[in-house]
């Protein structure tokens, strides 16, 4: 994304629309004209500024992006499906909504670590330490996830070097673990929370048992984690799994 300097009249109407404050205001350029410009290193290519249609002169220009910059758009613009997974956004559909194909069987816990948020974002490399720790513990990451696709070394969790410094709005580390490994996994997540320079939220997926209990929640309580009352809860009826 860039702002056509010939069209910008410096009205500043766009400044508050950027979720990572990448639109800056110069005051005066060499020709004494006031104008806005985009800090390319901070911009996550989410296209919010473009879609907001607040610019009175249509000065925002959405350009074709090359690798690795195109990753910014794939992870930040929900209108741009990720080319590898064909998933709009950053996680798999079932993790984010409902388990319709029984991918999270009883005895397992589904976890999503949603790194970054509007206002802060993240560099993709900030997910590497927690990915490395999970892989060391034998966890397999969700293959149909845009972040997993960027891992070049399955032992260290290292991302493609030219992708690692790309800034995005958010990225999800997504996996399924046996329920008996939940305690270890929560310890790793606590370590990640201490080490990260951005923020992340913890998504948990679990089945309700036939007796109405929720085994995953027992593990959450054992670990002393507090479920936010304002958290998002998706309840899905799913498909029949019994024949
Ligand atoms: S594309 Fe998104 S991040 Fe970039 S300047 Fe526009 S609103 Fe900000
Ligand atoms: S809204 Fe348009 S004209 Fe106004 S400062 Fe932003 S880019 Fe420039």
What pTM does this model have? Answer: 0.86
Who wins on pLDDT, 75 or 34? 75
Distance 48 CA to ligand 1 centre (A): 6
- Give, using CA atoms, the residue closest to atom 2 of ligand 1: 46
Note the pLDDT tens digit of each residue in 212-236.
888 999 999 999 988 776 666 666 5
| Cis check: omega of the bond before 139, within 30 degrees of 0 | no
Q: Residue 21 — pLDDT band, cuts 50, 70, 90?
A: very high
* Mean pLDDT, the chain, integer: 86
Per-residue confidence (pLDDT) for residue 194, from 0 to 100: 87
218 and 158, same domain (yes or no): yes
DSSP 120-180: T-EEGGGGHHHHHHHHHTTPPBPSSSTTGGGB--TTT-PBPTTTTT-EES-EEEEEEEEGG
Is 72 within the bounds of a domain? no
- 11 and 53: one domain? yes
Say yes or no: 209 and 172 in one domain: yes
Output the CA–CA distances (angstroms, integers) from residue 34 to 12, 21, 30, 228, in the order listed: 9, 18, 9, 45
Q: Is any atom of ligand 2 closer than 6 Å to the C-beta of 14?
A: yes
Instruction: Report the share of the chain in percent with pLDDT over 70.
Output: 83
| Same domain membership, residue 88 and residue 46 | no
Residue 205 lies in a domain: yes
- Give pLDDT tens digits for 141-196: 988 888 998 999 888 889 999 999 999 999 999 999 999 999 999 999 998 888 88
**Domain check: are 9 and 110 in the same one?**
no
241 pLDDT band (50/70/90 cuts)?
low
Substitution site in 1, 2, 4, 14 for ligand 2 pocket (most atoms within 8 Å of beta carbon)? 14
* φ and ψ at residue 235, rounded to 5 degrees: -110, 125
Q: Give domain status of residue 10, yes or no.
A: yes
**Residue 241 in domain:** no
pLDDT of residue 162: 95
Q: 136: domain range?
A: 82-222
Number of domain units in the chain: 2
Domain contains 153 = yes
Clarify whether residues 209 and 91 are in a common domain.
yes
58 lies in the same domain as 97: no
- Domain at 49, CATH number: 3.30.70.3270
Higher per-residue pLDDT: 186 or 241: 186
Residues 28 and 105 occupy one common structural domain: no
Mean pLDDT along residues 106-117: 91
Enumerate the β-bridge partners of residue 204.
111
Q: Point out which residues pair with 177 in neighbouring strands.
A: 109
The confidence band for 56, taking pLDDT boundaries of 50, 70 and 90, is: very high
Q: For residues 59 and 86, state if they share a domain.
A: no
Whether 242 is covered by a domain: the verdict is no
Asked if 49 and 101 sit in the same domain, the reply is no
In a domain, 73, yes or no: no
Band of the pLDDT at 66, cuts 50, 70, 90? very high
pLDDT tens profile 121-142: 999 999 999 999 999 999 999 8
In a domain, 58, yes or no: yes
Residue 7 CA to ligand 2 centre (angstroms): 8
Beta-carbon contacts of 61 under 8 Å, excluding residues fewer than 6 positions away, are 1, 2, 3, 4
51 and 135 share one domain: no
Closest ligand (CA of 167):
1
Whether residue 101 is found in the same domain as residue 153: yes
């Amino acid at each position: 994304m860039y702002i056509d300097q010939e069209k910008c009249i410096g009205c500043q109407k766009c400044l508050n629309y950027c979720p990572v404050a990448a639109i800056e205001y110069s005051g005066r350029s060499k020709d004494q004209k006031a104008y806005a410009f985009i800090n390319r290193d901070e911009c996550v290519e989410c296209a919010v500024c473009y879609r907001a249609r607040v610019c009175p002169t249509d000065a925002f220009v959405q350009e074709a992006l090359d690798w690795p910059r195109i990753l910014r758009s794939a992870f930040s613009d929900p209108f741009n499906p990720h080319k590898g997974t064909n998933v709009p956004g950053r996680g798999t559909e079932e993790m984010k909504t409902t388990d319709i194909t029984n991918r999270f069987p009883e005895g397992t816990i589904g976890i999503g670590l949603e790194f970054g948020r509007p206002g802060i974002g993240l560099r993709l490399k900030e997910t590497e330490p927690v990915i490395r720790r999970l892989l060391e513990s034998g966890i397999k990451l969700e293959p149909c996830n845009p972040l997993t696709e960027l891992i070049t070394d399955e032992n260290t969790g290292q991302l493609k070097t030219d992708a690692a410094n790309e800034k995005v709005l958010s990225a999800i580390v997504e996996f399924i673990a046996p329920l008996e490994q939940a305690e270890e996994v929560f310890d790793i997540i606590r370590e990640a929370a201490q080490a990260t320079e951005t923020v992340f939220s913890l998504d948990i997926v679990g089945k309700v048992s036939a007796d109405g209990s929720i085994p995953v929640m027992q593990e959450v309580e054992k670990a002393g984690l507090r479920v936010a009352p304002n958290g998002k809860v998706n309840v899905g009826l799913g498909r029949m799994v019994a024949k």
